[in-house]
Structure 1
Amino acid sequence: MPAPTLKTPRLTLSPPTLADFEDSRAMWADPLVTRHVGGRPFTEEESWTRLMRARGLWEVLGFGYWAVRETATGRYVGEVGFADLRRELEPSLYGLPEMGWVLAAWSHGQGFGTEAVKAGLAWVDQTLAPPLIPCIINVENAPSIALATKVGFRVRTHATYKGSPILVMERRSGRD
């Protein structure tokens, strides 16, 4: 399935391209952004791999990640989307469109995350209609937990992923 472009009142979510790489790399290199996602800034190689994965998910699974930009300015806001990453995690998330999001530090606290996540959820509900959408969030990431709760995710369980305590949250398809 080709990756669609989504529009919200302030944002454009589009399939990631080579033109997004430098903005994505800068975001993933920011310690403020990565403190709850891996705990350290990403190398250029790791950022490149993320971009390739984000793009390839669409081709292989029919869902993936979008690059999110502020429509009025073109400024890079972050990345929002879905993946089946086959994580070594209990409970297993295999076969489910696990939702994820990360936002550039400059955009925190402006409601962009909620707007972009809602757009992604509306798309997945309408297009794929999975019975369940999971997400995992570091237990110390209060803003992401608040966002997830706001858009209908509920805590399923506590777990550990790559040595960090996380919440496994889930949302039934079709909930706002």
Structure 2
Amino acid sequence: MSPVIETDRLILRPVAVGDYEDLCALLADPGFFRHIFPQALNAEEAWFRLLRDIGHWQVMGYGNWTIRTRDDGRYVGSVGLLNYHRIVEPAFDAPEIGWGLSPVFQGKGMAFEAAAAVVAWAEQHLKADRLVCMISPDNAPSLALAGRLGFAPYADTTYKGDAVILLERLSHEGLGNVAGH
């Protein structure tokens, strides 16, 4: 069970220490963090996130993948399967999927390509019959992407004081028109 995933344009590898500089730049980019954090994360906070992501793989056997382009290795962002024990109602009872791409790569289908590959990986390797995700109601592109991936809303709630939509995807939904998956 190799945690490296390759798609037509992308290589997904578990987050590693070598991703730190790229992660710092991403977490400071307003085009990235505006729907996720109230403000940019500094280098210390980026380091803690990196350590959290590396540890997640060690403990859970899954986690965040760094997304890089196949042709030249440029840092695209991350996509992952998560178990963060979030304090949210209703509580998550399935692996959570999350994604985030650098604005340079948004709108090019790369988030869909990476997330679809991770959904397929989860169904094959984790035997996950359900995945969940949490998206800000103001994040129309991520809501549209979740819909393309087969996610449907099941609850409106708050997380850390902000409105969020909880969505779920059942494995019998299939990946429909996802080429190569």
TM over 0.5: yes
* Superimposed CA distance per residue, residues 50-93 of structure 1 (whole angstroms, 9 cap, x where no aligned partner): 11111111111111010000110111000001111111100101
Whether the 8 Å CA contact 1:156–1:168 is kept in 2: the answer is yes
Residue 146 of structure 1: which of 125, 144, 150 is its match? Answer: 144
**Residue aligning to 2:125:** 127
CA distance in 2, matches of 1:164, 1:3: 36
* Greater shift in the superposed pair: 133-142 or 42-51: 42-51
Which AA in structure 2 matches 1:52? L
CA distance in 2, matches of 1:131, 1:173: 5
CA distance in 2, matches of 1:101, 1:81: 6
**Residue aligning to 1:157:** 155
CA distance in 2, matches of 1:131, 1:114: 20
Which AA in structure 1 matches 2:28? A
* Greater shift in the superposed pair: 47-56 or 119-128: 47-56
CA distance in 2, matches of 1:68, 1:55: 15
* Superimposed CA distance per residue, residues 83-109 of structure 1 (whole angstroms, 9 cap, x where no aligned partner): 111111001015x21000010110010
CA distance in 2, matches of 1:9, 1:3: 17
Describe how 1:63-78 pairs up with structure 2 within 5 A: 63-78=62-77
CA distance in 2, matches of 1:38, 1:3: 31
Q: Secondary structure at the match of 2:39?
A: coil
Whether the 8 Å CA contact 1:158–1:167 is kept in 2: the answer is yes
Which ranges of structure 1 fall in alignment gaps of 5 or more residues?
none
Q: Secondary structure at the match of 2:91?
A: coil
CA distance in 1, matches of 2:88, 2:13: 29
Describe how 1:74-113 pairs up with structure 2 within 5 A: 74-94=73-93, 96-113=94-111
Sequence identity (%): 40
Whether the 8 Å CA contact 1:153–1:169 is kept in 2: the answer is yes
Residue 171 of structure 1: which of 169, 172, 179 is its match? Answer: 169
> Structure 1 residue runs of 4+, over 3 Å off?
none
CA distance in 2, matches of 1:32, 1:3: 32
CA distance in 1, matches of 2:91, 2:77: 27
Q: Normalising to structure 2: TM-score of the pair?
A: 0.93
CA distance in 2, matches of 1:45, 1:85: 20
Q: Secondary structure at the match of 2:147?
A: helix
Distance verdict in 2 for CA 1:76–1:100, change over 3 Å: same
**Residue aligning to 1:7:** 6
CA distance in 2, matches of 1:48, 1:3: 25
Which AA in structure 2 matches 1:56? G
CA distance in 1, matches of 2:110, 2:129: 26
Q: Normalising to structure 1: TM-score of the pair?
A: 0.95
